[in-house]
Structure 1
């Protein structure tokens, strides 16, 4: 009998607690309200190309230039996916330079002739006229690496010193 009274009390207490919890939850949810909306998020992507990096073209240290000196370097570009591009290289800053005969300038304005090519066989001079003598392609949206093939041809060797040139890279898109 005592057990029945305790059990009934516990049930009664548990029942009361459940009812109170329900009433409290009902009162809170009855007074709470919600509203919904939306947020539009947009971006407009336009065609763009950038030169990511360009490594120096270093022909090293030599004495007499009595044979071709070949070397390569790379240019990394990135364009918006699907964008057609043409990468051009100008004749450089050497006085009197042309696309076929660029000039590195050194001591006493002496020069060393060199050329830049788009192919490993060094037969396609790399210039700056889109569709004619440039490296053309269609971008995939990721950085792309282009190889520049350089050659210093055999020539009369100027005086000792360091010779250099600066070639502008232009991406037409």
Structure 2
């Protein structure tokens, strides 16, 4: 039986080939991997912010009217989720003002008391006077803006004995959280 010169050359080439060359044509070994985990943390602090309420403008007051004059203003309070907060309103700067009977004062000097009594309330039924107390929670933050309405009312029959002119007051609002 006669062998083919081709087979002989192939056998000779394989025998002469170093082992490293054969490994070069072998499939590459896969790289090893290792994994681990780590924590990412942050502490969210209690925080609140509020918008400044607009002017509570009652409009024109008629002391002869049988109906109290009402008005509203509102603000937005945004507190971190679950944060308890309260809002207090002071008596204002009006002459003789108290928490239960606030007073707008006329800038015009003259005879009489130059003040117009009014109240600020937490609800539209005017049952709860909005005082300056910031104790207790009152509200709880949701992480989103929460609208809070301030209801105002001027009682009937106030013939102020002061001039028929504009009356104003300035209230300080305190947000406690």
* Alignment TM-score > 0.5, same fold: yes
Aligned to 1:12: none
Cα distance in 2 between the residues matched to 1:131 and 1:54:
21
Match 1:159 to one of 160, 163, 168: 163
Name the CA shift for 1:59/1:144 in 2 (closer, same or farther; >3 Å).
same
Per the TM alignment, residue 63 of structure 1 is displaced from its structure 2 partner at its CA by 3.9
Aligned to 2:83: 83
Aligned to 1:34: none
Match 2:133 to one of 113, 129, 138: 129
* Cα pair 2:61 2:69 within 8 Å, conserved: no
* Cα pair 1:53 1:75 within 8 Å, conserved: yes
* SS class of match (1:78): strand
Q: Which runs of 5+ in 1 are unaligned?
A: 1-37
Give the aligned length: 137
Cα distance in 2 between the residues matched to 1:55 and 1:136:
22
Spell out structure 1 runs of 4+ moving beyond 4 A: 38-43
Higher helix share: 1
Name the CA shift for 1:61/1:149 in 2 (closer, same or farther; >3 Å).
same
Cα distance in 2 between the residues matched to 1:39 and 1:111:
66
Cα distance in 1 between the residues matched to 2:115 and 2:104:
5
Aligned to 1:117: 121
Aligned to 1:102: 102
CA deviations 1:51-95 (Å, max 9, x no partner) are 223121000023435431111221211111110011111111112
Please, what is the CA RMSD of the aligned residues?
Answer: 2.7
Q: Which runs of 5+ in 2 are unaligned?
A: 1-36
Cα distance in 1 between the residues matched to 2:129 and 2:45:
31
* Cα pair 1:88 1:170 within 8 Å, conserved: yes
